[in-house]
Structure 1
Amino acid sequence: MNDIVEQFEITFNQIHQHLKELNGYPKNDNFVELLQRSKLKHSVIRVHFDQLKQYAKLRNAIVHERISGDYFIATPHTDVVEQLKRIKRTLDQPPKALEFATRPVLFFKEHTELIHIIEAFEEHGISQFPIYNQDHSFAGLLTNDGVVRWLSQNTHNGKAELEKVNASHILTSEKNKSVEFLQSSATVFELEERFERSLDENRKLKAVILTESGNSDDIPAGIVTTWDLIKVDRREDEED
């Protein structure tokens, strides 16, 4: 077999295997079908979708329309094979979730006074903070929306008494914020899967907190919101 064709086929088949793995090895393992499904969940596939779809057409021409022996109706250009190999390397070693997280994570204890938290909102330009109990267990996600909601519920004659109000009081005004925890060593694929699963389950995942162990009582190493996922697409576009 022509060496360049062989390299193309081997690399294409390795990417096909990755797509099967990303989709849980479904019965229908047609490359384009897997590509379409993966596009909805993973930024790497989304960015390279059009290229991979074209490469699938080329692969079909090579495999099914061979004229005779080593004479193919189409032969991939060297640049095509190199690009296919770059995509394959990205799938082999996908970026870490931590690369797209907000770091370091500023968090507070449940007894932290509201005034201090409001100052932190202003100083750091962050819209949400994880709150932990005295035993280091996760208490909830405190957001600027939750603060505004609490103030609207506790304002009388245009005034709200903030003295002795702490994070635990505000958490009672927070709507059910779906938060999940993931190991900081996880890949961006695992991170995206969490957000995709939440959509499938019809619940909005507000954030994924990354910790070394993946447990909720561990120190947060990074926090990822849906806004942070935009950085994944942007980086892939820049590297493409």
Structure 2
Amino acid sequence: MKPEGFSAVMAMRQPTAPDDLDYFPTPPWAARAGGELIRSIDPQARTAWEPACGGGHMAHGLADYFGEGVWPTDIHDHQGPIRPRFIGDFVRGDFDAVGDPRADWIVTNPPFVLGEAFVRAAWARARRGVAMLLRLQFLEGAARFRLFNELPLYAVAPFAERVPMVKGRWDPTASSATAYAWFLWIKPGVEGFGAAPRVMFIAPGTRTRLARPDDVTMFVGLTEAPLLAGVEGGS
């Protein structure tokens, strides 16, 4: 199903070199945790746009939570199992001239250094809300203080478990000392807009509950799947 207004011309743009990208694939279980949060606060959400889709890890995890589709796009085609439908620079506004997907929610794990730019671009384009998977330290700094005052957070949802990410690939066996959280904004007209920010903890055991064997099969490979499927449920 093609997003309303999109044109295949976007796929003909010159791709960005992968070495220039801050590409850290999202474990699909962590994407599902975000999908659960969005559905809990906005049951009317039907569509999502994933504008930094990479190999499709997050789009795959979100698919069960948006009944009318998840639209994957990126600035580069990483040749993953789920390919971007269109290539373009989300922050620069490459999609504006041909019409964006007009999705209810824009949901992604953006390059950390472009986190604020992605939030602002997503806020301008989303119908109902924005969800960004970011390091918890995104809360810090004068620039973020201004951002949160201009675009008040609905919630921040830190993971009680670590969400390991490595550059350029998903490694289900990786570990991490970095704390991640979902940051959520809702648009005017959605129930809860204007409420005081809240903390919504993502409980221990979420990784085990939301991991699926087909995640490893799809994104790591058939050879490694029997060995790694058990690891995915670890702490």
TM-score with structure 1 length normalisation? 0.21
* Pair member with larger Rg: 1
Higher percent of residues as helix = 1
